[in-house]
Amino acid sequence: MKDNYKLCVVTAQKFPSGLASNNRILSYCKGLAELNYQVDVLTITNSDEKNGNISAVNFFNLGPNLGNKFGVILIGIFNLSALLFKNNYKYLILVSNNALLIIVLFCICKLKKISFIQEKSEFPFVLNYKGLIKEKMATLYVKYIYKLFDGMIIMTQPLLDYFNNKTKDGCKLFLMPMTVDVTRFLNIEKSDKYSNCITYCGYMGGNKDGVKNLIEAFSFIKEKHPNIQLLLLGSANATELNEIIDYANRLAPNRVIFEGQVSRQKIPFYLKNSKILALARPQSLQSLGGFPTKLGEYLSTKKPVIVTAVGDIPKYLKNRKNAFVVEPDNNHLFAEELSFIIDNYNSALEIASQGYNLTLNVFNYKQQAINLDRFLKTF
């Protein structure tokens, strides 16, 4: 294997289980592996799966099994540093905002002559800081941290516009939209258990994906469609989860199914066997900059997808053309569109087939890996 094809992705979250962004990482890493890259995913945290291989992508969870989170990070960074010095990586893609990790990797990349690239899928988290001291820290973070990178892989146009003047001279910016591996949704076992479910999948805390909005919208149509249920897949912290459960019990008693956290391997089964897939993201800084990975998974099922028009979503999805797209924070309108889909389901399936074409022609991991390969070879 040539050294110029050796690449690592570094993250601060456990892999492959963990956050939804792991699906994005794995999809483009799989694509690069198919283009003859040697790809390693390295994490600074701990997982029951210390290391392994998925789709020709190696992964290593380098953090120790400790109760102290800060200790896990420090030792994880030490183990990561040792591994980086042992290997001759040409490219390092960082999927983390941890300032300490960024500074350490910057130094190692300089010494080892590794191209240091950050992947950005949302606006800087520090922009949400409140209070004089924290806001000063945020200003310093934005002013200096992003000037440490040689390149950035950016998910959406609003993010590209934002980071365009936040990086050093010569930093290369590459727009790579959401990526999805459609093959995960082939040959899925059929089941009628969830065939009358409107389904959401993802993290339910903080209402970043509008789970409460979705529950309220569903409550508006529950009487008209008594056989339809709402299925929620995912987790939140205990306080927020109990709050959501209480909210669902008040607005739609006995009509909302909480399935809890579902493994990456089982997600295709639930989504593929659902009736409708929904995402009621509210308008926010996060939704403006991000593009949810779950949306690509939704589209891969060929089931009707309803989503709010936030960020770059309207750039790709057109209402009643390839998906059902409504304005954000209008739960009554969201409910009306849900009801329309149910009442015109055969037509909705035809629209869904057009949405599926996007996963083949635009969001397909193979095509985006080819584009990413071209970008990497400019370094």
pLDDT in tens, 178-233: 999 999 999 999 999 999 999 999 988 888 899 999 999 999 999 999 999 999 99
Answer yes or no: do 200 and 189 share one domain.
yes
Rounded to whole angstroms, the Cα distance separating 58 from 40 reads 5
Quick check: helix, strand or coil at residue 227?
coil
User: pLDDT category, 59, cuts 50, 70, 90?
Assistant: very high
Q: What is the DSSP letter of 183?
A: G
The H-or-E segment that residue 57 falls in is strand 57-61
Answer yes or no: do 130 and 90 share one domain.
yes
Answer yes or no: do 168 and 246 share one domain.
no
Domain range enclosing 38: 3-179+364-376
Answer yes or no: do 125 and 71 share one domain.
yes
The mean pLDDT value of the chain amounts to 93
Q: Which two tokens stand for residue 312?
A: 């770059």
Domain count for the chain = 2
Answer yes or no: do 233 and 304 share one domain.
yes
The H-or-E segment that residue 54 falls in is strand 51-54
pTM: 0.90
Nearest to 160 by CA among 174, 178, 142: 174
Confidence at residue 2, expressed as pLDDT on a 0 to 100 scale:
45
Amino acid at 358: L
Rounded to whole angstroms, the Cα distance separating 229 from 195 reads 9
Rounded to whole angstroms, the Cα distance separating 13 from 61 reads 9
Answer yes or no: do 162 and 204 share one domain.
no
Q: Are 224 and 252 in contact (CB under 8 A)?
A: no
Answer yes or no: do 154 and 201 share one domain.
no
Confidence at residue 136, expressed as pLDDT on a 0 to 100 scale:
86
Confidence at residue 18, expressed as pLDDT on a 0 to 100 scale:
66
Answer yes or no: do 117 and 163 share one domain.
yes
Answer yes or no: do 169 and 115 share one domain.
yes
Q: Are 90 and 3 in contact (CB under 8 A)?
A: yes
- Is 142 a residue whose pLDDT tops 50? yes
Rounded to whole angstroms, the Cα distance separating 238 from 365 reads 35
Answer yes or no: do 238 and 136 share one domain.
no
